A and B are shown apart, each in its own frame.
Chain A
Amino acid sequence: MNRIETVFSQLKSQNRAALIPFITAGDPDSATTVAIMHRLTQAGVDLIELGVPFSDPMADGPTIQRSSERALKHRISLKDVFSMVAEFRKSNQSTPVVLMGYANPVEAMGYRNFIQAASQAGVDGVLVVDYPPEESAEWVRNLKEQNIDPIFLLSPTTPESRIKHVAELASGYVYYVSLKGVTGASHLDLHEVGNKVSQLRSHIRIPIGVGFGIRDEQTARSVAEQADAVVIGSRIVEEIEHSPAENLLANVGALVESLRRAIDAKSAL
Chain B
Amino acid sequence: MKIYDLPDKRGHFGPYGGTFVAETLISALDELCRQYEHYRNDVEFQTEFFQELKHYVGRPSPIYHAKRWSEYLGGAQILLKREDLNHTGAHKINNTVGQALLARRMGKRRIIAETGAGQHGVASATVAARYGMECVVYMGSEDVKRQATNVYRMKLLGATVIPVDSGSRTLKDALNEAMRDWVTNVSCTYYIIGTVAGPHPYPMMVRDFQAIIGNEAKQQMQEEYGRQPDALIACVGGGSNAIGLFYPYISEENVRMIGVEAAGKGIDTHEHAATLVTGRPGVLHGNRTYLIQDENGQIIETHSISAGLDYPGVGPEHAWLKDCGRAEYVAVTDDEALAAFHALCRFEGIIPALESSHALAYAAKLAPTLDKDQLLLVNLSGRGDKDMATVAEQSGISL
Name A residues whose Cβ lies closer than 8 Å to a Cβ of B. 54-59, 61-62, 65, 69, 72, 75, 77-78, 102-109, 129-132, 134-135, 152-159, 162, 177, 180-182, 185
Contacts and interface: CB of A to CB of B under 8 A. Distances in A.
Contact of A157 (B28, B166, B172, B298): B28
Interface of B: 10, 18-28, 166-167, 172-173, 176, 179-180, 183-187, 280-286, 288, 291, 293, 295-299
Contact of A62 (B21, B166, B184, B288): B166
7 contacts: A58-B21, A58-B285, A108-B282, A108-B293, A130-B283, A134-B26, A153-B23
Given A58-B176, A58-B285, A106 B297 contact: yes
A57 B179 CA distance: 10
Contact of A182 (B19, B27, B184): B184
Given A104-B299, A107-B281, A180-B184, A159 B27 contact: yes
B183 to A, nearest CB: 6
Contact of B20 (A54, A75, A130): A130
Given A58-B180, A104-B284, A158-B27, A130 B22 contact: yes
Contacts of A107: 281-283, 288, 297
Q: What 5 A-B pairs come out closest when comparing CB atoms?
A: A108-B297, A105-B297, A103-B283, A77-B296, A153-B23
Contacts of A105: 296-298
B23 A152 contact: yes
A247 to B, nearest CB: 27
Q: Which secondary structure characterizes the binding site on chain B?
A: mixed
B395 to A, nearest CB: 34
A11 B339 CA distance: 70
Given A105-B296, A155-B23, A162-B27, 11 more contacts: A55-B299, A57-B176, A58-B21, A65-B166, A104-B284, A130-B22, A156-B24, A157-B27, A158-B23, A180-B183, A180-B187
A177 B299 contact: no
Contact of B26 (A106, A109, A158, A185): A158
Contacts of A56: 167, 172-173, 176, 284-285, 299
A159 B21 CA distance: 16
Contacts of B291: 104
Nearest to B180: A182
A150 to B, nearest CB: 13
Contact of B184 (A69, A153, A185): A185
A179 to B, nearest CB: 8
A132 B23 CA distance: 6
Nearest to A185: B184
A65 B166 CA distance: 8
A137 B233 CA distance: 39
Contacts of A102: 283
A50 to B, nearest CB: 16
Nearest to A182: B180
Contacts of A162: 26-27
Contacts of B172: 56
Contacts of B18: 134-135
A55 B296 CA distance: 11
A158 B170 CA distance: 32
A46 to B, nearest CB: 23
Contacts of B285: 56, 58
Contacts of A62: 166
A33 B317 CA distance: 41
A130 B21 contact: yes
A155 B183 CA distance: 11
Of listed A78, A134, A156, A177, residue having the most chain B CB within 10 A: A134
Contacts of B281: 107
